[in-house]
C-alpha cells in the first residue's frame, strides 16, 4: 500500500467526452473542354500541288485553351508510302507544353452550298478512345489519308482553286471546386417575441412599475439591456435593490406601448 491516496476508478466515475460533429464538407471535380475553332483558307491549290511528299502549307497560329495551334496541309501527302495518292491534314501543338490532352475535329468544307462537308471528328469518339495526348511542341494529330486527291480535285470541296479547312480544338481541363460547408438555413430571430412574452407574464419578474395605479411587472436586466433610460433609472439610482418604481409622467397605455416596442426591436 502506498502513502499517496488514490481514488478507485469505476464505471460510474468514467466520463467519455465526444467531440461535436462538424458540418460535412464537399468538393467537386469538373473535367471539361475549352473549345475553339480556326478556318484555314488555301488559295491556289493547283500551284501547291507537286511541291513534294512531306512538304506542307501551314496556317497562322491560333490559341485555344491557353495553347497555340496550327493546321498543316500536305498537298502531296505526308508519307512516301502513299505515293501522292492522298492529301494529308494535321493539327499541331505550336507552343511549349507537355502532355496536353485535347479532342480534335477537321472539316473539309463543301463549297457548293449543299452542306455535305467532309468531317473527321475525334469528339464523336471521346467516350470510346478518350482525348489524344500531345507530348511536346510539334506533336500532331490528323490523317495521312485525309482525302483521295483525284476525288478531291473533281469535288465540290475545291472551288475556284480554293480549299477551306475548318479545325476545332477542345483542350481538356480539370478543376476542383473548393471544399465548402453545406449551406444551413438560419431561421429568422424570434427573440423579440420571447421578450414580449416576458412582459406579458409575471414569471421571474423582479421589478414592478406603478403607472397611475396600474401595476406592470417586468425584468430589470431585459429593460436595462434594451433601454438606456431604464438602465439609468434601475441601476444608477440610490437604491439599486428597489422592487417598485412609480412613473408619474406617463399614462398606463403609453407606458405599455413603450415596453412592447423595446422588446419587439430586438
pLDDT tens digits, residue range 111-121? Answer: 988 889 998 88
Do 171 and 195 belong together in one domain? no
Q: What is the DSSP string of the chain?
A: --SS--PPP-TTT--PPPPPPPPPEE--EEEEEEEEEEEEEEE-HHHHTTS-TT--EEPPPEEETTEEEEEEEETT-SSGGGTTSEEEEEEEE-S--SSEEEEEEEEEPPSSSS---EEEESGGGHHHH--EEE-STT-EEEEEEEEEHHHHTTSTT-BTTEEEEEEEEEEEEEEEPPPEEPP--PPPP-HHHHHHHHHHS-TT--EEEEETTEEEEE-HHHHHHH-HHHHHHHHSSS-TT--EEEE-SS-HHHHHHHHHHHHHT-
Q: Are residues 50 and 134 in the same domain?
A: yes
Q: Are residues 151 and 195 in the same domain?
A: no
CATH number of the domain residue 239 falls in: 3.30.710.10
Residues 2-53 pLDDT 10s? 454 444 444 444 454 556 666 677 888 888 899 999 999 999 999 999 999 9
Look at the pTM and tell me if it is higher than 0.85.
no
Range of the domain at 55: 31-175
> pLDDT at position 2, please?
47
Shared-domain flag, residues 170 and 144: yes
Residue 107, pLDDT score: 94
Q: Parallel, antiparallel, or unpaired: how do β-strands 180-181 and 25-26 relate?
A: antiparallel
CB 58 within 8 A of CB 30: no
Tally of domains in the chain: 2
Quickly tell me which residue has 469538373 as its cell: 30
- Beta pairing class for 67-74 and 214-218: unpaired
Q: Are residues 156 and 211 in the same domain?
A: no
Q: Indicate whether 1 belongs to any domain.
A: no
Residue 77 lies in a domain: yes
Same domain (yes/no): 43, 166: yes
Mapping DSSP to helix (H, G, I), strand (E, B) and coil, where does residue 261 land? helix
Look at residue 11 and tell me if it is in a domain. Answer: no
pLDDT given at position 21: 66
pLDDT, residue 58, reads: 96
Are residues 168 and 100 part of one domain? yes
Task: Identify whether residues 65 and 147 lie together within a single domain.
Answer: yes
For 199, the grid coordinates are 412582459
Closest by CA to 64, choosing from 91, 31, 30, 29, is: 91
Residue 152 lies in a domain: yes
Do residue 161 and residue 237 come from a single domain? no
User: What pLDDT score does 94 carry?
Assistant: 95
In this structure, what CATH number is given to the domain that contains residue 119? 2.60.210.10
The pLDDT value given to residue 71: 97
108 and 222 part of one domain: no
Do 263 and 195 form a contact (C-beta atoms < 8 A)? yes
Low-confidence ranges of the chain (pLDDT < 70): 1-23, 126-127, 178-185, 191-204, 226, 234, 236-242, 258-266
Amino acid at each position: 500500500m502506498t502513502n499517496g491516496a488514490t481514488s478507485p476508478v469505476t464505471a460510474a466515475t468514467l466520463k467519455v467526452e465526444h467531440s461535436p460533429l462538424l458540418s460535412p464538407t464537399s468538393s467537386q471535380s469538373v473535367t471539361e473542354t475549352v473549345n475553339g475553332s480556326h478556318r484555314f483558307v488555301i488559295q491556289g491549290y493547283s500551284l501547291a500541288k507537286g511541291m513534294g511528299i512531306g512538304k506542307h502549307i501551314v496556317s497562322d497560329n491560333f490559341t485555344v485553351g491557353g495553347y497555340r495551334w496550327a493546321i498543316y496541309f500536305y498537298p502531296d501527302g505526308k508519307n512516301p508510302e502513299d505515293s501522292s495518292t492522298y492529301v494529308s491534314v494535321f493539327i499541331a501543338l505550336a507552343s511549349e507544353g507537355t502532355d496536353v490532352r485535347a479532342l480534335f475535329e477537321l472539316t473539309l468544307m463543301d463549297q457548293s452550298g449543299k452542306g455535305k462537308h467532309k468531317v473527321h471528328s475525334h469528339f464523336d469518339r471521346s467516350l470510346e478512345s478518350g482525348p489524344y495526348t500531345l507530348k511536346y511542341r510539334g506533336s500532331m494529330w490528323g490523317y495521312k489519308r485525309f482525302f483521295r486527291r483525284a476525288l478531291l480535285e473533281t469535288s465540290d470541296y475545291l472551288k475556284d482553286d480554293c480549299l477551306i479547312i475548318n479545325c476545332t480544338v477542345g483542350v481538356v481541363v480539370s478543376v476542383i471546386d473548393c471544399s465548402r460547408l453545406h449551406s444551413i438555413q438560419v431561421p429568422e430571430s424570434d427573440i423579440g417575441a420571447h421578450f414580449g412574452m416576458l412582459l406579458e407574464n409575471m414569471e421571474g419578474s423582479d421589478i414592478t412599475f406603478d403607472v397611475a395605479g396600474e401595476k406592470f411587472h417586468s425584468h430589470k436586466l431585459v429593460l436595462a439591456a434594451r433601454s438606456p433610460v431604464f438602465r439609468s433609472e434601475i441601476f444608477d439610482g440610490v437604491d439599486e435593490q428597489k422592487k417598485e418604481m412609480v412613473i408619474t409622467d406617463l399614462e398606463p397605455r403609453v407606458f405599455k406601448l413603450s415596453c412592447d416596442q423595446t422588446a419587439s426591436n430586438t
